[in-house]
Amino acid sequence: MAKLRLLHTADFHLGAWPVGLPLIKRNIRLKDFEDQLLKIKNYALEYGCDFLVIAGDIFHTVKPSSLLLDTFARFVYSLTSKGVSVVAIAGTHDKPKTEDTPSYLKALSDAGIPLFHFTEEPTVIYLKGRVSGRVVKFSMIPYTPPSTLDRNTSRSRMIEVVRGVVAKEECSYDYSVAVAHLIVDEAYVKGLPATMLQEVSIPVSLFSGVDYVCLGHIHRHQAPSNNVVYSGSIERIDFDEEDDVKGFVLISEDGGGLEWVFKELPCRPMKSIPSQGFLDLPAEGSVENILESTLRSSRDVRDAIIRLRVRIGEGQHIAFSSIEDIMNRFRVFHWVLDIERVRSSHPKPSRYDRSSTIEDLFKKYVSDLLAGTLDSVFAENVISEGLKLLEAGSSED
């Protein structure tokens, strides 16, 4: 008889775009995710998996576009049509905030797609693998919103939910697998122990009787315990993940138990430049030369998503068009600007008083708001268009 094999993945975040990503580049970025899904699907089929498990956060928003829904539906069909069962739970980004509102994924599940099993509520299901013939008890624990009372109450509530689902026994089975979207105490988030965060966490010992635990929610791959594993996200979602290795987990039956191995997925680089602190840009002189020199000394900027961190003085403007030209020369895929503005120790006296017109106040507001973030021509265009709207509103009155 063939051995039981599963593939564990999580946190697809389909539709997660960097700030300011142009529409023309969104299809390219979506293809990054689609390529990862294709590799995962191929692995599951070649490895002879009975089950592919997704531990939450399939989409980045609760209302994904029809294009993203179609992307995921085609991924599911590519597996289920070959006899691989897809087992999935709702994550933080999949569940609508309104309690009685079903998610888009539930609608997909309600369509009755064979071998697709999705839940928004804690439950237990028993499934038989088509390849191995093994029966697996899946303890399904989707994301549970925290209590509005306090952290301790939320923690107690979550512990009770997990205990109840894990302890539930309805049928005989060969192996037990938990699928959960949550944080365990022993995990690390952005380099910090989970217990130091405001988010609710639970002890990993709650899963001590389970053969393997598929966790989602934390984007960095890690194993808080021998049988408790975060697969991590399949792509880098934000700059906290720029050094993370991405991939998925393959689980196989071995000696009466379940063993796992992490498989890396190469993905598009994300880089902060500089990696620490900010790049000081002078008020006078060639900013372009400084940026070019900095990029030239940085590795892996081609096709990367770059966060350019700069420090400028109060009232200093940045020519976005010049930066864009430089980034294009270095073939950077997309870039965002992180600005630290050095404020003057002597506040400017206000040039306006109660006799100022609404147009004067609007000009000052926009000028102050955009100071140091956009070039002066762009700021002037914003003011011009805003004044037109104010004039049109006044004429209607």
CB neighbourhood size of 342 (10 A): 13
Q: Is 99 exposed, middle or buried (0-12, 13-18, 19+ CB in 10 A)?
A: exposed
pLDDT at 152 over 80: yes
pLDDT at 5 over 90: yes
For helices 358-370 and 376-396, angle between their N-to-C axes, nearest 10 degrees:
150
Contacts of 87 (CB under 8 A, 6+ apart): 51, 52, 53, 54, 117, 125, 127, 138, 140, 179
pLDDT at 196: 86
Q: What is the pTM of this model?
A: 0.84
The more confident residue out of 375 and 270 is 270
Pairing between β-strand 135-141 and β-strand 123-128 as defined by DSSP bridges: antiparallel
pLDDT at 395 over 70: no
How does pLDDT run across 288-346, given as a tens digit for each residue?
888 899 999 988 899 999 999 998 887 777 888 888 999 999 999 999 999 888 876 55
Place of tokens 């928004």: 120
Mean pLDDT across 256-276: 95
Pairing between β-strand 279-280 and β-strand 5-9 as defined by DSSP bridges: unpaired
pLDDT at 392: 64
Instruction: Provide the residue ranges of all domains of the chain, joining segments of one domain with +.
Output: 5-264, 270-396
pLDDT at 101: 73
Place of tokens 């976005």: 320
Tell me the pLDDT band of 110, cut-offs 50, 70 and 90. Answer: confident
Lowest mean pLDDT among 35-44, 73-82, 90-99: 90-99
- Looking at residue 115, the DSSP 8-state letter turns out to be T
Q: Domain 5-264, CATH 3.20.20.240 — does that match?
A: no
Q: Which of 90-94, 163-167, 337-341, 367-371 has the highest mean pLDDT?
A: 163-167
Phi then psi for 125, rounded to 5 degrees?
Answer: -130, 150
Lowest mean pLDDT among 61-75, 96-110, 146-160, 181-195: 96-110
